Structure 1
């Protein structure tokens, strides 16, 4: 009954107005991630579980935009298409390793090197999740001199990884 594209455009306009009002003095964090809606796997109207890619403004706790993905394997082009529709210049975009496959191996090798990892900034958190305690350690560095193809990642300022221990 409601045109999904029109509704999505309305939400994007509202979120973009908030972003514009916020300004670019302190960049916002736009987190992009794909999620499979597990409850849709049993619905007869879906051939496979529904998969959605969302762009969320972390500081506001709102979803800026989202797109449906035809299968998990099409997430990367959907993320790229989603980013092109957003007016987020001057803000920080974070995405999981799936959306940065070219860098993934290099970052894994960097973070797994004990000497290099000790030089990275770290932050730790612990929380109870479903009767178990999860400890997360985030590693981050702005040292990108080691990257051979740094010019392919215009605007890249840092790399990082999160280690989860249960």
Structure 2
């Protein structure tokens, strides 16, 4: 229970969503020296403050024990790094993930038309070849405008994304949003699930739907384009020109009735020119969508999809050192992934400074008041 000397309002936003999470430790350990809520709070506060290992989390806790007691009693002090590792190796990640999703749903403010990108990432070095354990693959939902990870599910490999995506969609509040997924998610049941959630979809079509792709290519050779949009982007040593074309006359598209909500097919032509060499490459991508003819919005949504790479995956790798971690034991890597996403969410919602994420973590480590500010958001 929280320290009675501290206002429960301070931690209610955290504890109310994680208080019922089942403690994986054996009941015969009695009252346990370190309550699970205290361990979770310690880890999130430590990761916000720059800790990336169980040892550094333990060191943070020992040095900030007086501050931690503002929030929880910590009557028995701080658990060792071995205790932390064992708890998170045993903690059931599915239940932890559902708690995370409920918490994010309570604070997320997704707006109509917001792009929610569904994308997978393999956590490098989470495998254990000696024990025949494969690396963990996580499918995440990322609200690009708000910069929030709305939830995630772990799967055995990238090929299992097809079954994981509908399960993840069912857990999310998506009304009014536009869900974007790469070719792996171009499945009829996934389109149906998105529409049933009162959302729209833009699904990439590639080789896994060859018949559909061939028909879309043919449509663009015989049907007029209903809407077109062009934009350009300068950065990363290149110039990129994109043209988005939309067709909504689908009477020649076989099986179109089996794709729930289908209203348009899309062709995006990207031309990239190197600033150094002047050489260019052209790529054509095709999509299906429940949106109609607004090529400008569709072009923006497709471009927003890739924000999940540099605003979530890249941050987890570079800022939170997820891929450099050696958390191999049982559920450790996946549970750390959830903790890092919670820390990232809290940091992104703290708007009093425009400092970079590494600078925010350093400031949180040095300044108790700033850490308070992040955790009270």
Please give the TM-score of this superposition, normalised by the length of structure 2: 0.36
**Structure 2 residue 159 is matched with structure 1 residue 52:** no
**Structure 2 residue 251 is matched with structure 1 residue 139:** no
Q: What residue number does 1:30 align with?
A: 116
**How many angstroms apart in 2 are the aligned matches of 1:161 and 1:8?**
36
Task: Say which of 87, 107, 126 aligns to 2:173.
Answer: 87
Unaligned runs of 5+ in 2: 1-86, 189-203, 273-377
Distance 1:124 1:40, change over 3 A: farther
Q: Deviations over 1:42-96 (max 9, x none)?
A: 7557733321111111221111111111012111111122112223233221111
State how many pairs are aligned: 160
Runs (4+) of structure 1 exceeding 6 A deviation are none
Higher relative contact order (CA 8 A, sep 6+): 2
Q: What residue number does 1:155 align with?
A: 261
Is the contact made by 1:124 and 1:136 (CA closer than 8 Å) also made in structure 2?
yes
Distance 1:149 1:114, change over 3 A: closer
Is the contact made by 1:41 and 1:48 (CA closer than 8 Å) also made in structure 2?
yes
**How many angstroms apart in 2 are the aligned matches of 1:62 and 1:164?**
27
| 3-state DSSP of counterpart to 1:77 | helix
Unaligned runs of 5+ in 1: none
**How many angstroms apart in 1 are the aligned matches of 2:226 and 2:107?**
37
**How many angstroms apart in 2 are the aligned matches of 1:144 and 1:14?**
42
Q: Which moved more, 1:110-119 or 1:2-11?
A: 110-119
Instruction: Kindly name which structure, 1 or 2, has the bigger radius of gyration based on alpha carbons.
Output: 2
**How many angstroms apart in 2 are the aligned matches of 1:165 and 1:41?**
37
**How many angstroms apart in 2 are the aligned matches of 1:7 and 1:33?**
20
Q: Which has the higher strand share?
A: 1
Q: Which has the higher helix share?
A: 2
Is the contact made by 2:110 and 2:146 (CA closer than 8 Å) also made in structure 1?
no
Task: Say which of 180, 185, 195 aligns to 1:99.
Answer: 185
Q: What residue number does 1:40 align with?
A: 125
Please give the TM-score of this superposition, normalised by the length of structure 1: 0.72
